[in-house]
Amino acid sequence: MLSEPRAMAKHIEPGMRVALPVDYAGVSMAMTRPIIEHGAGDLDLVCVPTGGLQVDQLIGAGLVRTVETSAVSLGEAGGAPRFNAAVKEGAVRLKDATCPAIHAGLVAAQKGSPFMPLRGLIGTDLLRHRDDWRVIDNPLADGGDPIVLIPAIKPDVTIFHVPMADRFGNVWIGRRRELAAMAYASHTVFVTVERIVEENLLADEMSAAGVLPALYVTAVARAPKGAWPYGLWGEYPADSAEIARYAKAARTADGFSAYMAQAQMEPA
Amino acid sequence: MADVLPREVLICTIARLLDGVRHVAVGASSPIPAAGAMLLRAMKEADGTVGPRISILGSVEHNFFTNGSAELFDCAGQGRIDAFFLGGGQIDGLGNVNLVGTGDYPRSSVRWPGSFGSAYLYFVVPRVILFREEHTPRVFVEKVDFISAPGVSPEGVFRSGGPVALLTGKGLFRFDKTRPGFELESVHPGHDLAEIKQATGFQFAHDAEPRQTQLPDRPTLDLLRGRVFDELAETYPEFAAQMRRELGAVDA
């Protein structure tokens, strides 16, 4: 169960559906470079529910076929430059969504159900461009009442970063419950952590409530400052200067390549 | 004592628009809506009543959720969130909002981040306030290029929420969902109807001589410049510092 980032990245195969968390929930930036070095392409990314730096870098590296997301941006550093360029060139297929639709698809998978109904969406161009979403009349109403069905989202792989795991593979996710939703829905789950603790996290009721049990975890690797330049809840803030540096560098394909080639990728 | 700054007018207008809400949610980088909500809370507490609960997304201090990023939407779906703010790269006269991009989708000529939760929250939050400081014809268009979230829905479509107002750097509009369309309610100091017409790409109803946006009274300004900017600085330190610098400059 204990692994290291490069070994985990080798399990990613071309054409896999990969789920990645929102920037504040615990992004495993430590896995980004190993994934790019491994080079499996045609990935279908699922951003839960939005994407940022990691998604932009995987797109910039040419590994992405589809992006299913509610948004991609670098937050205060502005738009995601490689994502925006790929959209303009038509280099990635977009599955534009809205946040609760991504959550609904994961919940359907978690329950082993084919879909989840979701309010809203009717009359949007999101719905018009999604041939995988369906509208039915609520079968429990007296008539009418259209509602959208969101098919289950079943990622092949989920990847995220959290403060700690124990040596049994139990992972501390605190109140970031979307990480659990992703794991429940996924076939394979790779987690990087700041540290691995000796005691069993399930032994104490206080910590057990915030634990994703090893049952759902494929492998764990230690990666100190593994979310950098993103921050990690309860641990360290985002390095906004570094994110801004990336945003500027990645405006061109050459600038992106130069940035990615630098040793600066490792935590300062 | 300083005059009222344009952004103070916006903050105080937001506080008025939020009057009566129990729970307001504010997006991650929205210091002016957050300040408006905090001002309303401070005013209510100064009156000895209970102010609104404020959830600021992405903030640890002002966020009560323990069920991940899905909880906000679950909360809204049950009617537990009374008010929310939406911006938009484009907003049209029917209250449609575009957060995706300009030109032909999917190969947008300008791509914005995406729709976020708008395609859901606009349907289920009763009091959605459209807020965009930039008031230009490129933002306020006749018809949006992409509908992230529609201003109105046909009869029979479940809809417990929607837009009530549009606040810009130049004025305040009310949304009338029966027409549907916007009506200019007031003009901020330093602006006029002709200028607003020129800067707005859609038709809107208005009085021949629209009134000026209500300015805050002394006690409200004191609350804003004291307690509210202090609270705001915890989540938006740069914005609070900038407001205080501008006030200092006007004073000096």
Reported as a single tens digit per residue, the pLDDT across A241-257 is 999 999 999 999 999 99
Contact between chains at A125 and B148 (C-beta distance less than 8 A):
yes
Nearest-CA distance B144 → chain A (Å): 11
Tens of pLDDT, residue by residue over A110-134, are: 999 999 999 999 999 999 999 999 9
Q: Do the chains contact at A70 and B115, CB–CB below 8 Å? A: yes
| B146 and A CB contact within 8 Å | yes
Q: Phi, psi (5° rounding) for residue A167?
A: -75, 0
Neighboring chain B residues of A94 at a CB cutoff of 8 Å: 106
- How many residue pairs from chains A and B have C-beta atoms closer than 8 A? 142
pLDDT of A264 higher than 70: no
CA distance B35 to chain A (A): 19
Peptide bond into B154 cis (omega under 30): no
Q: Is 80 exceeded by the pLDDT of residue A239? A: yes
Residue B73 contacts residue B117 (beta carbons within 8 Å): yes
Give every residue of chain B whose pLDDT is below 70, as ranges: 1-2, 58, 251-252
Confidence band for A149, pLDDT divided at 50, 70 and 90: very high
Distance CA B220, CA A226 (A): 46
- A22 vs A28: CA distance, rounded Å: 11
pLDDT bin (cut points 50, 70, 90) of residue A266 is low
**Largest Cα span, chain B:** 58
Residue A267, pLDDT score: 57
Q: Which of residues 194-253 of A touch B (CB under 8 A)?
A: 233
Alpha-carbon distance A11 to nearest alpha carbon in chain B (angstroms): 28
Check CB contact under 8 Å for A100 and B113.
Answer: no
B119 vs A89, A124, A233: nearest CB: A124
Find residues 143-172 of chain A whose CB sits inside 8 Å of chain B. 144-147
Picking from B59, B115, B122 by the largest number of A CB atoms within 10 A of its own CB, the best residue to mutate is B115
Q: How far is CA B199 from CA B64, B89, B146, B170, B196, in A?
A: 39, 15, 21, 9, 5
Using the beta-carbon criterion (under 8 Å), do A119 and B73 form an inter-chain contact?
A: no
Q: Distance between CA A85 and CA A92 in Å, rounded?
A: 10
Q: What are phi and psi of B200, to 5 degrees?
A: -115, 125
pLDDT at A235 > cutoff 80: yes
A53-81 confidence digits (pLDDT tens): 999 999 999 999 999 999 999 988 999 99
pLDDT of residue B252: 54
Tell me, what's the pLDDT at B64? Answer: 83
User: What is the number of helices (H) and of strands (E) in chain B?
Assistant: 8, 13
Give the per-residue pLDDT at B1.
Answer: 41
Please judge whether A71 and B156 are an interchain contact, meaning their C-beta atoms are less than 8 angstroms apart.
no
B60: closest CA of chain A, how far (Å):
9
- Interface pTM, i.e. ipTM: 0.95
B48 touches chain A (CB under 8 A): no
User: Which chain A residue's Cα is nearest to B75?
Assistant: A100
